């Protein structure tokens, strides 16, 4: 099921609200104050805005957007839905400029804020995902570097020694073959940094596939099996030992970060990682359609902490 952009949910506010309520409240309205399910009345009247409910338990009024990243937004719901569908369906992401043009609404700044809030909806809830791998399963771990290439900068703007990994951001990704990915922005590749990430997110019953980075050596012994491929020595595949899955993840991620977003600031990298992990984990190959993926992103806007203030810098995409 692909996204039908002529669907009224993308143009009509009432249709958009009904769609959002159906996703948010599959069993009827839930009062955000006392938690009562399906025991509220929709208030009607000339001076009442549509979608305002009154709880029969605590008597408080509420709407479906309370407690979501859409709360207190002046952006119409149908624009949120359109933006979410566009971002969810774009494999390499969508720049705020592109989003702004396609929405035909607001300013670049509005589109930028919307994109970041939509990424929050795509981020997993804390503790929601189980560990990767398991018995008979393979989990590949690898790192990649993103950030300004020193050789592309004007000579007098280059920083001494800022070549290769230095001055760049390090991204660490774990991918279960045929399964999900979890990416983290890390400070360095030491065992001390890698250990808590790998130990917390990978089942010990898995076969762990890594390169020969020293940080993996000790922890590798705690897994059912640990294979290392020595990229430095030109070795990439040895039987079932390889990191092709995580390499392929990085290829898409880099095409997005470099091609679509033209690199991202350190402060926001985590949110872009959530976006790329989300699309990978809800991918077509696992049976998730564009429309179903967007629905998950919309469902994800609930229960997320609001972290954006108007004072946040717009220039940092
Ligand atoms: Zn209530």
- Mean pLDDT to the nearest integer, 220-224: 96
Looking at residue 166, its pLDDT comes to 59
Whole-number Å distance, alpha carbon 295 to ligand 1 midpoint, is: 26
Looking at residue 163, its pLDDT comes to 43
Looking at residue 277, its pLDDT comes to 96
Q: CA distances (Å), 287 to each of 43, 125, 132, 292, 316, in order?
A: 40, 22, 19, 9, 35
pTM of the predicted model, to two decimals? 0.88
6-10, 28-32, 238-242, 307-311: segment of lowest average pLDDT = 307-311
Question: Which residues touch 50 (CB under 8 Å, ≥6 apart)?
Answer: 13, 14, 17
Say what percent of the chain tops pLDDT 70.
Answer: 89
Say what percent of the chain tops pLDDT 90.
Answer: 69
Distance CA 226, CA 219 (A): 9
Whole-number Å distance, alpha carbon 39 to ligand 1 midpoint, is: 9
Whole-number Å distance, alpha carbon 33 to ligand 1 midpoint, is: 5
Whole-number Å distance, alpha carbon 144 to ligand 1 midpoint, is: 48
Q: Is the pLDDT of residue 165 over 90?
A: no
Closest CA relative to residue 66, chosen from 230, 234, 306 = 306
48-62, 134-148, 258-272: segment of lowest average pLDDT = 258-272
Which string of DSSP letters, residue by residue, matches 78-116?
Answer: HHHHHHHHHHHH-TT---HHHHHHHHT-S-HHHHHHHHH
pLDDT tens digits, one per residue of 224-278: 999 999 887 888 888 899 999 999 999 999 999 888 888 788 889 999 999 999 9
Whole-number Å distance, alpha carbon 61 to ligand 1 midpoint, is: 8
Whole-number Å distance, alpha carbon 76 to ligand 1 midpoint, is: 25
Whole-number Å distance, alpha carbon 59 to ligand 1 midpoint, is: 6
Q: CA distances (Å), 239 to each of 209, 229, 233, 236, in order?
A: 12, 10, 16, 10
Whole-number Å distance, alpha carbon 48 to ligand 1 midpoint, is: 19
Q: Is the pLDDT of residue 72 over 60?
A: yes
Contact 171, 185 (CB under 8 A): yes
Distance CA 36, CA 159 (A): 59
Q: Is the pLDDT of residue 154 over 70?
A: no
Looking at residue 307, its pLDDT comes to 47
**Token digits of residue 48:** 């009442």
Q: Quick one: which H or E segment has residue 281?
A: helix 269-281
Q: What residues have a C-beta under 5 A from ligand 1, the ion?
A: 31, 33-34, 36, 55, 57-58
Torsion of CA 261, 125, 24, 33, to 10 degrees: -120
Looking at residue 308, its pLDDT comes to 45
Looking at residue 148, its pLDDT comes to 61
Tell how far CA 42 is from the center of its chain.
Answer: 33
């Amino acid at each position: 099921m692909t996204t039908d952009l002529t669907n009224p949910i993308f143009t009509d506010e009432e249709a958009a609200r009904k769609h959002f309520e159906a996703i948010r409240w599959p069993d009827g309205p839930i009062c955000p104050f006392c938690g009562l399910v399906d025991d509220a009345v929709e208030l009607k009247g000339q001076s009442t805005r549509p979608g305002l409910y009154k709880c029969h338990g605590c008597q408080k009024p509420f709407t479906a957007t309370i407690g979501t990243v859409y709360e207190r937004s002046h952006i119409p719901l149908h624009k949120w839905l359109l933006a979410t569908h566009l971002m969810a369906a774009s494999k390499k992401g969508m720049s705020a400029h592109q989003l702004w043009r396609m929405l035909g609404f607001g300013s670049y700044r509005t589109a930028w804020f919307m994109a970041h809030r939509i990424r929050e909806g795509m981020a997993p809830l804390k503790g929601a995902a189980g560990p990767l791998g398991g018995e008979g399963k393979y989990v590949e771990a690898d790192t990649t570097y993103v950030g300004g290439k020193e050789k592309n900068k004007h000579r007098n703007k280059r920083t001494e020694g800022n070549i290769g990994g230095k001055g760049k951001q390090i991204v660490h990704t774990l991918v279960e073959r045929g399964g999900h990915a979890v990416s983290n922005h890390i400070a360095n590749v030491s065992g001390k940094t890698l250990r808590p990430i790998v130990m917390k997110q990978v089942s010990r019953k898995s076969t762990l596939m890594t390169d020969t980075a020293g940080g993996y050596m000790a922890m590798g012994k705690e897994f059912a099996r640990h294979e290392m491929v020595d990229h430095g020595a030109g070795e990439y595949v040895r039987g079932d030992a390889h990191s092709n899955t995580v390499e392929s993840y990085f290829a898409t991620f880099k095409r997005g970060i470099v091609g679509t977003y033209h690199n991202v600031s350190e402060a926001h990298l985590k949110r872009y990682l959530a976006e790329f992990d989300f699309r990978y984990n809800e991918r077509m190959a696992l049976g998730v359609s564009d429309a179903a993926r967007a629905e998950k992103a919309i469902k994800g806007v609930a229960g997320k902490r609001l972290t954006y203030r108007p004072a946040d810098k717009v220039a940092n995409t």
